[in-house]
């Protein structure tokens, strides 16, 4: 039986990956942060199946302890401060967790179990102001946020430990992937919960930032399989994981409201004009510059052909199905609450 250690197990991807590895017969260990209130977030259902170890990416002693307890064959480093907007508010802790944290865990592997295979959660945000369309493994990077910059360090230090010490270390350059377990501050989940609340009469208006930004969106359950496949190859390598199609935020909003048969009234009104707005039967979607970013990633589009040919990976959930699954889930959730 193989053993895996997952950092970020309480997050979207970590929890799906744990489900997947358990279904493959793995013994799974997960690193969990100490908080004032014990909270397993997306891993609540895993409490009896996974061995949780308290630790933090910024505390190398805790990583050494976790490696000694778990003695893993595979380490999946999914822990991160993953919200791009928050990275301008907390740039230093973002760098501590997403950049230095990766060195902490790589050093720990090198010292304690250099044979363990390592997966690093790299991101399409490293392409930022894109230098080529579509983006592939060889596309030059141009990150546009403290988050993107911190992840670029994590990406290169992973490559460096592979080349310096011969570790089996891979980075998956994953494009946006969403799900019913996505954090509510990310745009897709913000939209799907708002649609559900508006349908149930519990919210009046959906306020968003840049509606024209485009993302290459897949489902997390497809993407975590690619992480596992990367660690099952003969030699370690880096791969772009994407769908090969992109859509705007506006398109996501349109499809989500269509799912519940509600028409949209788009508003560019400022706060003053909006105060005198008389109301409508339709759902109001309003642009609020508060949600604009200091520097935006306007468009991302990945080329997954290397992963498809070398790993035999292919996404299964279509864009339409992704929107439908998220809205259906949130509708049930809001109706129940
Ligand atoms: P997520 O839902 O935000 O999960 C992040 C996880 O990291 C949570 O379990 C969180 O724990 C943990 N964490 C944060 N800071 C930590 C620290 N200092 N020490 C230990 N654990 C810490 O993110 P996700 O969407 O699943 O993404 C997984 C990884 O893939 C992240 O590294 C992200 O940057 C990267 N990524 C995501 C996407 C995407 O579209 N989802 C695309 C490319 C790359 P708490 O529950 O305690 O907060
Ligand atoms: O924004 C625009 C926003 O926050 C997507 C993380 O998983 O994927 C994620 O990062 C787009 C941006 O995700 C709102 O300006 C408009 O253009 O859902 P997001 P992200 O920044 O793409 C990458 C690959 C990661 O690695 C990250 O960890 O949507 N947008 N209006 C908005 N975004 C938010 N959050 N809220 C809005 O109201």
Tokens 């099952």 found at: 232
Verify whether ligand 1 is closer than 6 Å to residue 224 (CB atom).
no
Same domain as 114, residue 98: yes
Q: State whether 117 and 196 are in the same domain.
A: no
* Statement to judge: residues 149 and 288 lie in one domain: no
Ligand nearest to the CA of 32: 1
pLDDT above 90: percentage of residues in the chain: 95
| Res 47: pLDDT | 96
Residue 308 is among the residues annotated as catalytic for this protein: no
* Binding site membership of 183 for ligand 1 (Cβ less than 6 Å): yes
Q: Are residues 191 and 234 in the same domain?
A: no
Number of structural domains the chain divides into? 2
Query: Is residue 46 domain-shared with residue 194, that is, in the same domain?
Result: no
Q: For 19-60, what is each residue's pLDDT tens digit?
A: 999 999 999 999 999 999 999 999 999 999 999 999 999 999
pLDDT of the residue at 160: 98
**For range 241-259, the mean pLDDT:** 98
- Catalytic status, residue 10: no
In this structure, the answer to whether residues 241 and 265 fall within a common structural domain is no
Range of the structural domain that residue 255 is part of: 187-213+248-297+318-336
24 and 151 inside one domain: yes
- pLDDT for res 279: 66
CATH code where residue 287 lies:
3.90.25.10
Q: Is 247 in the pocket of ligand 1 (CB under 6 A)?
A: no
- The ligand that comes nearest to the alpha carbon of residue 43 is 1
Q: Is 78 in the pocket of ligand 2 (CB under 6 A)?
A: no
Q: pLDDT tens, 190-229? A: 999 999 999 999 999 999 999 999 999 999 999 999 999 9
Question: What is the whole-number distance in angstroms between the Cα of residue 24 and the centre of ligand 2?
Answer: 32
pLDDT tens string 7-26: 999 999 999 999 999 999 99
Q: Are residues 112 and 253 in the same domain?
A: no
Q: For residues 45 and 57, state if they share a domain.
A: yes
Identify the band that residue 281 occupies on the pLDDT scale cut at 50, 70 and 90: confident
Tell me, what CATH number does 78's domain have? 3.40.50.720
The alpha carbon of 7 and the centre of ligand 1 are apart by a number of angstroms equal to: 8
173 in the same domain as 199: no
pLDDT digits (tens, 9 = 90+) for 157-170: 999 999 999 999 99
Q: Is 220 a pocket residue for ligand 2 (Cβ < 6 Å)? A: no
Q: Which tens digits make up the pLDDT trace of 96-148?
A: 999 999 999 999 999 999 999 999 999 999 999 999 999 999 999 999 999 99
Q: Same domain, yes or no, for 157 and 235? A: yes
Q: Is 125 a catalytic residue?
A: yes
Confidence of residue 280 (pLDDT cuts 50, 70, 90): confident
Q: Specify whether 21 is located in the same domain as 153.
A: yes
Q: Which of the listed residues 7, 8, 58 should we mutate to test ligand 1's pocket, taking the one with most ligand atoms within 8 A of CB?
A: 8
pLDDT for the residue 277: 65
């Amino acid at each position: 039986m193989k053993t895996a250690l997952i950092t970020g197990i309480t997050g979207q991807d970590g929890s799906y990956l744990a489900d997947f590895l358990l279904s493959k017969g793995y013994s799974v260990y997960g690193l969990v942060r100490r908080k004032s209130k014990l909270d397993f977030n997306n891993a609540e259902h895993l409490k009896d199946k996974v061995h949780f170890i308290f630790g933090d990416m910024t505390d190398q002693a805790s990583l050494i302890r976790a490696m000694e307890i778990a003695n893993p064959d595979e380490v999946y480093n999914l822990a991160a401060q993953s919200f791009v907007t928050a990275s301008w508010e907390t740039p230093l802790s973002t760098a501590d967790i997403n950049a230095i944290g990766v060195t902490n865990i790589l050093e720990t592997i090198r010292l304690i179990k250099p044979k363990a295979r390592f997966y690093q959660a790299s991101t399409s945000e490293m392409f930022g102001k894109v230098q080529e369309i579509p983006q592939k493994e060889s596309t030059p990077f141009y990150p546009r946020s403290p988050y993107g910059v911190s992840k670029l360090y994590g990406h290169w230090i992973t490559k460096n430990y592979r080349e310096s010490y011969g570790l089996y270390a891979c980075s998956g350059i994953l494009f946006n992937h969403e799900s019913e377990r996505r954090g509510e501050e990310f745009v897709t989940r913000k939209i799907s919960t708002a649609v559900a609340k508006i349908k149930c009469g519990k919210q009046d208006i959906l306020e968003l930032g840049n509606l024209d930004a485009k993302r290459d969106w897949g489902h997390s359950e497809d993407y975590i399989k690619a992480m596992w496949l990367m660690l099952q190859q003969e030699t370690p390598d880096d791969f772009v994981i994407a769908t090969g199609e992109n859509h705007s935020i506006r398109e996501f909003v349109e499809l989500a409201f269509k799912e519940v048969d509600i028409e949209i009234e788009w508003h560019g009104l400022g706060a003053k004009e909006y105060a005198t707005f008389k109301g409508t039967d339709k759902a109001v979607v309003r642009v609020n510059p508060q949600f604009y970013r200091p520097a935006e990633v306007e468009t991302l589009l990945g080329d997954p052909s290397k992963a498809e040919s070398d790993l035999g990976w292919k996404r299964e959930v279509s864009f339409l199905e992704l929107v439908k699954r998220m809205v259906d889930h949130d509708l049930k959730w809001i109706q129940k609450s």
